Amino acid sequence: MRYISEKEYNAEMLRIKHENESKARLRKLKAERAKGRQKKSKSISNSKLVLWAMVILVFCIAIWFMYESHRLCDLSQAYALLGIVASLAPVIFGYYSKSKAENTEGGIVYETAMKEQEVTSNSESGKG
């Protein structure tokens, strides 16, 4: 084990002090820059996007089909309307089963996982 002199100790402490001041200035600068930025809007999850796109598509097709049936005065293919609406059922079932799995005990939500990852990366960067 090597012992250092008081002069070396003071020089090392001064270097550490300057390093910590520099890190504090950088953190303060990042905080100031972040104030001017717009906050990120919360993005919609892909499953919700698929769900709503499918709902809109199905209802647009159903409305178009009803309009054409009325215009042509031909309701012989009305059974197709039932099939179009029924195609929405698996999408809704899939979305709600995913949602149920995330929101139960032991389930994990994407935003929570990202927040935990951010906290760990911030604590690791503060060590250096």
> pLDDT value at position 108?
59
Summarised one tens digit per residue, pLDDT across range 75-112 is 777 777 778 778 778 878 887 887 777 766 555 565 66
Q: Residue 110: which H helix or E strand, with range?
A: helix 110-127
Evaluate whether 56 touches 33 at the Cβ level (below 8 Å).
Answer: no
Using 50 as the pLDDT threshold, list the residues of the chain that sit under it: 128
C-alpha to C-alpha distance for 59 and 87, rounded to whole angstroms: 11
The model's pTM? 0.44
C-alpha to C-alpha distance for 16 and 127, rounded to whole angstroms: 13
Q: Which residue reads 């300057």 in tokens?
A: 18
Non-local CB neighbours of 78 within 8 Å, separated by 6+ positions: 69
> pLDDT value at position 3?
84
Residues 84, 85, 86, 87: what is their CA dihedral angle, to the nearest 10 degrees?
A: 60
Q: Would you give the DSSP letter of residue 77?
A: T
Evaluate whether 62 touches 81 at the Cβ level (below 8 Å).
Answer: yes
